[in-house]
Amino acid sequence: MLARVLGKGTPPADHASPAESADPQEVPLTAAPADPESQRCGYVAIVGKPNVGKSTLLNALVGQKVSITSRKAQTTRHRITGMRTVGPTQFVFVDTPGFQTRHGNALNRALNKTVLGAVNDVDLILFVVEAGQFNLADAKVLSLLPANVPVMLVANKFDLVHRRGDLAPWLRSMQERHPFAEFVPMSAKAAKDIERLFGICEKYLPQQPWMHDPDDLTDRSERFMASEMVREKLFRLTGDELPYTSTVIIDKFEEEGSLKRIAATIVVEREGHKGMVIGEKGEKLKRIGTEARQELEKLWDCKVFLELWVKVRSGWADDDARVRSFGYE
């Protein structure tokens, strides 16, 4: 079994690899028309320190990319909801930027506020940690969670745990930290684990009619998705050099039949950062544009014409670099 429902004080007995489990109860991943009487619908918040895999998990649960992921910490700055209707149950997910525990600046304070706002009125909290690990940053996040909402411990990146037997004492120690409702060792990158997670979460959602169309995956605007996608490619392709304060602004978003025409500006802090984004002969910027465009075309199933500009926050003038990533190549 992927998840063990542990009563208080029950030590986890065995922790078979989720991949090896043979639970016959498969969760259908398509929304079947359910009669309103039997429908469930509720909010699930995904919390945890940066880089534990929250966005990866959210995207896998939603089945589409609605949150950007990166090896660089702090890439998620907005509260993003994704939704997924599985059988009679509609899950509305809330991604959070991760509690920022290291720096006390205004941006981080704002991030923490978003997180706290996100967890107060949910039905279930998925507290994500890396399997076998728990440090001060994890503890800080855990200490901020409300007491009246069930919290599930998601021990993510289980695939990276080589000696799985070592996980049992760790799970026991975790039991003492919080009255977790469930313990779920899993990998956000394993489809089977994601399916199981739906089944485990389901019972925590109240019986009530769906709030969204069962085919909807996000309530975020297409404009927002476009800027997030460019931001993801920006951070992925510039590695650790570029400060996370760089932002993406959508200047134009127009639809012409089945074509979407988008112009966006990457705003960087310093002149020196511009070069990192543009790259040699504009190669980097071109790649950011192409990859973002391809993902958006996949997401929306239409042609996208994406034009990217780079500007330095102060004094943006006529030397602004520009790249076009055409919908037709």
What does the binding site for ligand GDP look like in residue numbers (CB under 6 A)? 48, 50-56, 69-71, 76, 98, 156-157, 159-160, 187-189
Q: Do residues 96 and 119 touch, judged by C-beta distance below 8 A?
A: yes
Give which of 20, 48, 8 is closest to 182, Cα–Cα: 8
DSSP assignment of 261-308: EEEEEEEESSHHHHHHHH-GGGHHHHHHHHHHHHHHHHHHTSEEEEEE
- 115 within 8 A of 96, measured Cβ to Cβ: yes
Binds 249: which of Mg ion, ligand GDP, none (CB < 5-8 Å by kind): none
Closest CB 167 distance from Mg ion, rounded Å: 24
Return the closest-CA partner of residue 125 out of 145, 104, 105, 110: 145
Between strands 124-130 and 40-47, the pairing is: parallel
At its nearest, how many Å lie between ligand GDP and the CB of residue 328? 31
Bridge-partner residues for 126, per DSSP?
46, 152
Q: Which of 39, 59, 76, 265 binds Mg ion (CB under 5 A)?
A: 76
Please tell me the number of Cα atoms within 13 Å of 260 on its side-chain side: 22
By CB under 5 A, tell whether 112 contacts Mg ion: no
Q: Binding partner of residue 101 among ligand GDP, Mg ion, none, CB under 5 to 8 Å per kind?
A: none
| Shortest CB 75 distance to Mg ion, Å | 6
Nearest to ligand GDP of 54, 231 (CB atom) = 54
Partner whose binding site includes residue 247, from Mg ion, ligand GDP, none (CB under 5 to 8 Å by kind): none
From the list Mg ion, ligand GDP, none, which binds 160 (C-beta under 5 to 8 Å, kind-based)? ligand GDP
Helix (H, G, I), strand (E, B), or coil: what is residue 62?
helix
In the complex, the smallest distance separating the C-beta of residue 67 from Mg ion, rounded to whole angstroms, is: 6
Q: Is 70 in the site for Mg ion (CB under 5 A)?
A: no
Closest CB 193 distance from ligand GDP, rounded Å:
8
Residue nearer to ligand GDP on the CB measure, 133 or 324: 133
Does 55 sit near Mg ion (CB under 5 A)?
A: yes
| Angle ∠(161,179,82) on CA atoms, nearest 5 | 70
Minimal distance, residue 137 CB to ligand GDP, in Å: 11
Q: Which is nearer to Mg ion, 54 or 84 (CB)?
A: 54
Rounded Cα–Cα distance for residues 45 and 51 (Å): 16
Which residue ranges make up the site for Mg ion (CB under 5 A)? 54-55, 76
